[in-house]
Structure 1
Amino acid sequence: MLQAELIRKYNVPGPRYTSYPTVPYWDKAPFTEAQWKEHVKKAFQVSNQKDGISLYLHLPYCESLCTFCACNKRITKNHGVELPYIETLLQEWKLYLQLFEGEKPRIQEIHLGGGTPTFFSPEHLKQLIRSILETSEVTDTAEFSFEGHPKNTTKEHLEALHEVGFTRVSFGIQDFDLKVQEIINRVQSFESVKEVTDNARAAGYTSVNYDLIYGLPFQTKESIVDTIEKVKLLKPDRIAYYSYAHVPWIGQTGQRRFTEADLPADEEKRLLYELGKKMLEEAGYIEIGMDHFALKEDSLYKATESKSLHRNFMGYAANYTQLMIGLGVSSISDSWTAFAQNHKKVEDYQQAVAEGHIPIYRGHPLTEEDLILRKHILDVMCHFETSWEKEEQQVGILFEAKERLTEMEKDGLLEIGETSLRVTDAGKAFVRNICMALDGRMLRAKPESRIFSQTV
């Protein structure tokens, strides 16, 4: 079947699978703070000495709204919010420390996400991290990373965070075309990106990532070629080449600045990806998981080679820890056996912490079926293949998945064995669709309203 026909056939709404079950299909039953504490304690006992634990810190503030963004953020120019928010984060961390009963957490991974983490001053960011590290140990293979806005990530930010252990930074580039930048309210020149990249390397960062997005309003083949050519000049170690998620119906009002008529759609959008992918591969980047590329020297590529690549709410990671604690407003934590999400409004989050509560407002304990399906969806997302024990076929969804995937096999997107499946090169563009055939929660829910962005 021709690529254009495959795109028309499989371009349907679907999850990005940073978790399974995906958030819309978590149990609706109340999930209490006491329940979450028990899951955390058990996961800490297993994870801390073996692999360490991971921390995600959500810093939600931005000075201006990027209209493509679907993250939880708070727009303000008032930097007086910085210190009170950091104090709340550290108080939340103390609530978790109490659960560890005197055993020091061993930190394997810290990631600062947002929002715009570099909204915060270098001094406040350093204060935040030092306060966490004073109560912890750091593993020998730890990786600390943060998301930096090219326009406000200063040499001082880079040096301050490197001083407390950060060696990876991710810059949101999106596209270098001025017309695209203006409609998404993210104007930044090639020169400013080059300067911040050079500053990162001079400060000692060993891994620089660029986020690029295809499918943005007014994007064309010419703008993608120009963007990738400029990216090649700067040679970042990693590249995330994402599909733009157009979801104005779930409250992302900034995306209403343009309409679907302004977006490259279906075959046109996929051609932008294929063009960018071809150029990146010709420049020496290897496709890693879904929508990610890395040079062979990077730890993400090495994790792919050793089959240790992992995917969680922070994206792809080179290391796995059973316990990932999310601190900050709207952060999601993962104990492997349960998920928990913090309050989505800053005021609700800060009030809950001030009252001495771990500030979760919803969660999901994973069932035995969830755990089995999660493993296979992760394997497909990270390794483009999975296999199962014969006993696992007693899980109805897994058994039925082989039948659901028969059509995709006929289309050359995967190969199905008696107890295995492998995604072909042609099928890598449709990984989300393949995972949907394993998604028991979504299949049973049969959603009537549109929740997710298109898979292509």
Structure 2
Amino acid sequence: MTSMQPLLNRFARPVPRYTSYPTAPHFHAGVTGEDASRWIGSLSDGQKLSLYVHIPYCDRLCWFCACHTKHTLKYEPIARYLQGLRQEIESVAAMIPAGVRVSAVHWGGGSPTMLKPDDMRALMSWLRCGFDFAEDAEISVEMDPNDLEERRYKALAEIGVTRVSLGVQDFDERVQKTINRLQSFEQTRSVIDAMRALGVHSVNCDLLYGLPYQTEATLAQTVEQIISLKPDRIALFGYAHVPWMKKHQTLIPEAALPDAEARYQQMVMAGEILCRAGYRAIGIDHFALEEDTLSLAHKAGRLHRNFQGYTDDTADGLIGLGASSISQLPQGYWQNMPATGEYLRTVENGKLAVVRGIALTLEDQVRGFVIERIMCSYSFSACELRARFGSDADGVIAEARAFAAENPDICQFDTFGFRLKNEAFAFARSVAAVFDTYLGNGQGRHSQAV
């Protein structure tokens, strides 16, 4: 038994990833398109928006994936989907008050790089025609290296991409075959080199630990290979095994998955390699070079967390476009219909495709702030919380003080407020869950915290 085993027994349990609060399983049908329209209309001159555009298609299905996506070898469904997306863009853009500017756009999926070059250009044209873009707006795209060739590189340059994110997961051949994600190191390097040549200023690579047949040795080799490519950011996610939600994950042999202690050791080992190579550890699963904007935001206490994970984005709200996408404004959250057919029928009739959401109460806002601070900086300031919420913060502060008194080995409450000790950083999700009053009151099931 390792010295960490007692903490793993207490805190390596299934809890949310806290990319929102309340979390998506607690969204409900009481929030409608009329609510979303009203919230959008309440934006004011000078405020900033981020846009997320979801492309829910892949030309191969990775068995580890828990995203809302579907496999297709035909382009016709994608072409029709894009026309529905155009209709939604026009409908939402018409609701945005004058003076609201877009500071960031992110294309996610699925595989946005499946789009034909002309469709990439068209999609960005629809967005720029509908919304008022800031001159320095970030344009980021998730990329599958297997999709890319010269014509797509050219289209990405023409739409003004400034940041890209490449899924890698692991370079070990046995692991790749088991998760149905074949992608060589050389292929990955060629894509990164091509994007650098196009002037892209920030490259992120996604890695996974906790995969079937993965060992510390194989993961260490993958991490060293990625470091040699010098990406600006690296996301080191724990594989979320949720076969009850994503049936294709049943194709992954559960007996080959590492247990909680092995996952923890993989995570620690990979993080140590990255930090020795000059990457700053950020939150529970991100690493960035010191000069990267994510590192700068972390050092300045400006780091935030949303449905894309950790971000330095300072926008006042996020509008999700496309099937299953989630939006966030100060009043609450809403989610579009996940089924593409239902989504298309709704947007083609000129309606918002909202299927559920949640309006935030004052208590939600207090707890959401605390949870985000724990996820971003492993702490929260009691003075800042009171400055924001007055006496409404007192109950949560009392809970934090009591939890620290009961768990002095992992956290403390002092004149600053609440903070985790270094050895407990890996368990930030589980500690954040202490302040989640919705947890256990719904049907949601979650992945392992470490």
Work out whether the TM-score is over 0.5: yes
For residue 159 of structure 1, report the CA deviation from its aligned partner: 3.0
Contact 1:155/1:199 (8 A) holds in 2: no
Distance 2:4 2:266 in 1: 13
For residue 138 of structure 1, report the CA deviation from its aligned partner: 2.4
Contact 1:240/1:293 (8 A) holds in 2: yes
Higher alpha-carbon deviation: 184-193 or 79-88: 79-88
- Give 1:175's aligned amino acid: D
Aligned pairs (5 A) from 1:32-431: 32-42=32-42, 44-45=43-44, 49-50=46-47, 52-101=48-97, 103=98, 105-250=100-245, 252-388=246-382, 389=385, 391-392=390-391, 396-408=395-407, 410-411=408-409, 413-417=410-414, 420-431=417-428
Contact 1:397/1:440 (8 A) holds in 2: no
Change (3 A) 1:7 1:129: same
1:436 to 416, 433, 438: 433
Contact 1:104/1:136 (8 A) holds in 2: no
Change (3 A) 1:157 1:451: same
Contact 1:369/1:395 (8 A) holds in 2: no
- Give 1:4's aligned amino acid: Q
State percent identity of aligned pairs: 36
Cα offsets for 1:40-96 (capped at 9, x unmatched): 211x21xx514x210000001101110000000011000122322122112101111
Distance 2:447 2:406 in 1: 22
For residue 205 of structure 1, report the CA deviation from its aligned partner: 0.7
Cα offsets for 1:122-162 (capped at 9, x unmatched): 22111101221123332244211110011112343233223
Higher alpha-carbon deviation: 345-354 or 116-125: 116-125
Distance 2:406 2:239 in 1: 27
Cα offsets for 1:220-246 (capped at 9, x unmatched): 111111101111211111000001101
Distance 1:64 1:304 in 2: 35
For residue 346 of structure 1, report the CA deviation from its aligned partner: 0.4
Contact 1:82/1:124 (8 A) holds in 2: no
Distance 2:136 2:304 in 1: 15
Distance 1:154 1:424 in 2: 47
Contact 1:405/1:434 (8 A) holds in 2: no
Contact 1:332/1:340 (8 A) holds in 2: yes
Distance 2:251 2:397 in 1: 42
Higher alpha-carbon deviation: 30-39 or 224-233: 30-39
Distance 1:87 1:307 in 2: 41
Distance 1:307 1:201 in 2: 29
Distance 1:394 1:59 in 2: 40
Change (3 A) 1:320 1:13: same
- Give 1:35's aligned amino acid: D
Contact 1:398/1:438 (8 A) holds in 2: no
Contact 2:400/2:413 (8 A) holds in 1: no
Distance 1:86 1:394 in 2: 45
Distance 2:131 2:315 in 1: 16
Distance 1:305 1:253 in 2: 40
Cα offsets for 1:411-455 (capped at 9, x unmatched): 2x2221266112222121011011001112216x2x6x6700111
Can you give the 5+ residue segments of structure 2 that lack an aligned partner in the other structure?
A: none
RMSD: 1.8
Higher alpha-carbon deviation: 151-160 or 15-24: 151-160
Distance 1:450 1:99 in 2: 32
For residue 98 of structure 1, report the CA deviation from its aligned partner: 2.0
Distance 1:375 1:122 in 2: 41
Change (3 A) 1:40 1:180: same
Distance 2:393 2:187 in 1: 56
Change (3 A) 1:141 1:290: farther
Please state whether the residue corresponding to 1:241 is helix, strand or coil: strand
**1:13: which partner in 2?**
14
